[in-house]
Structure formats: structure tokens, C-alpha cells
Amino acid sequence: MAKNKFNKNWVHDHLNDPFVKQAQKEGYRARAVYKLKEIDEAEKLVRPGQVIVDLGCTPGSWSQYVRNKLAGQAGGGISGTIIGLDLLPMEPIADVHFIQGDFREEVVLAQLEAIVAGRQVDLVLSDMAPNLSGVAIVDAARVEHIVDLALDFARAHLKPSGALLVKCFNGPGYNEILAKFRAEFKTVASKKPKASKDKSSEIFLLGKTLKNPA
């Protein structure tokens, strides 16, 4: 009974969520788009001409937002390059290069490098999150692992002046993740956008300008 009640409450909350309604109205695939939108509007992360990588991009709302920001060129198309990577499939988005696979694998990196064509990446976005177990110490390790993957990717591909935005959670292990960001980036800020639910410990970390670029 309790589980059914929880599911009904979730469905009710979801259907009445103003960000869900706004996403449906504006044609975005998920309410998560408004988390990125708020952070971008404050930080001016997405700019024409950039190479932007969206890690864990499925279902695609962040890539949609970036595409819309880079659109509006004469004759159509976008000013910049957007590459989305995910283990899961994603419905195509105009002007977004999608690679399905694990970005730690050589075959996936080869596809990425073919698209990037020798350029360094301006912005790495990661809305990735692990499957949570409810066991705090286990979940903290899983979250830290996901963030480590994004940091490793950024070290390898980001231009010295670039930025990395990742999702994490303000709980066990957060201070360790924050310390890793501060070791890598000259500027680090934490962000809790309005679309991130109050009861959620979800928080976003933004690192700008690598301290020790490759």
C-alpha cells in the first residue's frame, strides 16, 4: 500500500510540477533543462562558436537547450559543435552529434575525436547520476565515481579556459568532491537552481579554468 501511495503522490506532484508543464509547453524532453538554463543565465557558460560535450545526455533536454542557444544562424544550423554521449539511446536532436557508448572506451573516444577534429572542448556538462541504493556510504561512493569520470574527461579534453558543470549531492562525500574540484579549477562554485527540488540534496558544481592544463 505504502509503495502505491508513494507512486500516486509522485505522479500527482510530477503532473502538477510547474517545470514539467513548462517543459511540455516549450518542447523540452525533461524539466532538468531549467536547472541548466538558470545556471547558464547566471554564468554565461554557453556561447556561439563553442565545442560543448554533454555527458549522460539522454533524454536530451540539456542538449536541446544548448542547441537552441547556438542556433539562429543565417541559413539555419548552429554556431558551434554539440556532442552528446550516453550509454542509453537518445532520439535525434537537430545539429547534435550523438554517440552511444561508454566514453572511457577507445572506440567511443575515437568517434568523439573525429567530430572534435583537433579542437579542445570549451564546456563539459554532466547531469549524470548513479542508481541510488538508499545506503548513504554506498551512494556517496557511486556519486563520487560518476564525478571522477567527468573530471577525468575534462582533464583530457577541456581547453585551459574551459568549464565543467556536474551534478552531485550535498551529503556524505560532498566535501571530498569539492576538494577535487578545487584542486583542478581556479574558480569553483556550487549551484542550487530553483528547478532542483527543495527536498532533494542535488547540487551542481561548476569549475572554471584549469589549474594544470594538459
Catalytic annotation, residues? 167
User: Cβ contacts of residue 149 below 8 Å, gap of 6+?
Assistant: 55, 103, 104, 128
Binding site, residues?
Answer: 60, 62, 86, 102, 127
Binding site for S-adenosyl-L-methionine, residues?
Answer: 60, 62, 86, 102, 127
Number of H helices, E strands in the chain: 7, 7
Pick the closest to residue 191 from 54, 64, 46, 37 (CA basis): 37
Question: 102 and 87 in contact (C-beta within 8 Å)?
Answer: yes
The DSSP symbol for 84 reads: E
Pick the closest to residue 51 from 122, 153, 157 (CA basis): 122
